Amino acid sequence: MREKREPVFLWISIVVSGIAAILIITQNLEPNLTLPGFTLFGEQTQPPEYSIKKPEEVVKQYFESWNRKDWPNMYATLSDGFKKIDPDAKDLTAFRNYASSQGIEDIRIIDIREDSNDGTTAIVAYSVEFTLSNGKKQSFNDKFTLKFRQADVILGWKLIHPYGPNIDVS
């Protein structure tokens, strides 16, 4: 009987030692040697660092998201202050309802360029062509004012007056 216990103990020791060796090896691997977003035991690695978009990239995101009817990404371009003062932007549902009610089926960006930027306020000129729900095309040129918002839920350049009479002056 004693002989049967020794091999079991031996196998348990080998398995425990193997698991310990795997843990030691995986904990000491360089992050670039693992698969992106995956480690041996299913733990998630750190997501890539958030990069702050330039003001003209935010305006591009606004129009491209609108064209795709990607309301969350369009909504993310608005400053938190604007969301507080404009009833059509008070939450994502209200914003989606407002944006989708504009009768715009397609948006073609013609030009987006930054006119000025002092590090806290930027003016971005844009030219777009809207295709309306009746099929007609309408050109539209204007400028957006963006502010660099450090205290917003999502840090970065935000539209403070994308439409309507409300302007985020916070």
The answer, yes or no, to whether residue 65 has pLDDT greater than 80, is: yes
For residues 163 and 64, the model is more confident at 64
User: What's residue 85's pLDDT?
Assistant: 93
More confident residue, 126 or 20: 126
Tokens of 23: 């843990």
Which residue reads 């348990």 in tokens? 12
Give backbone dihedrals phi and psi of 75, rounded to 5 degrees, phi first.
-60, -35
Residues with Cβ within 8 Å of 92's Cβ and at least 6 positions away in sequence, in order, are 71, 72, 75
**Residue 104 pLDDT:** 95
Residue 89 contacts residue 98 (beta carbons within 8 Å): yes
Alpha-carbon distance of 33 to 29, in angstroms, equals 6
- CA–CA separation, 126 and 60 (whole Å): 9
Query: What are the φ/ψ torsions at residue 134 (nearest 5 degrees)?
Result: -85, 5
Both tokens assigned to 126 = 């844009």
**Per-residue pLDDT at 33:** 46
Q: Which residue has the higher pLDDT, 115 or 34?
A: 115
CA atoms of 29 and 105, how far apart (whole Å): 51
Average pLDDT of the segment spanning 132-140: 95
- Whole-number mean pLDDT of the chain? 84
- Residue 168 pLDDT: 87
CATH number of 55-159: 3.10.450.100
In this prediction, residue 34 has a pLDDT band, given cuts at 50, 70 and 90, of: very low
Contact 89, 122 (CB under 8 A): no
Q: Provide the pLDDT for residue 32.
A: 45
Of 19-23, 45-49, 107-111, which gets the smallest average pLDDT?
Answer: 45-49
Please tell me whether residue 42 adopts helix, strand or coil conformation. Answer: coil
User: Number of helices (H) and strands (E), helices first, in the chain?
Assistant: 5, 4
Mean pLDDT calculated for residue range 3-26: 65
Query: Residue 137 has what pLDDT?
Result: 97
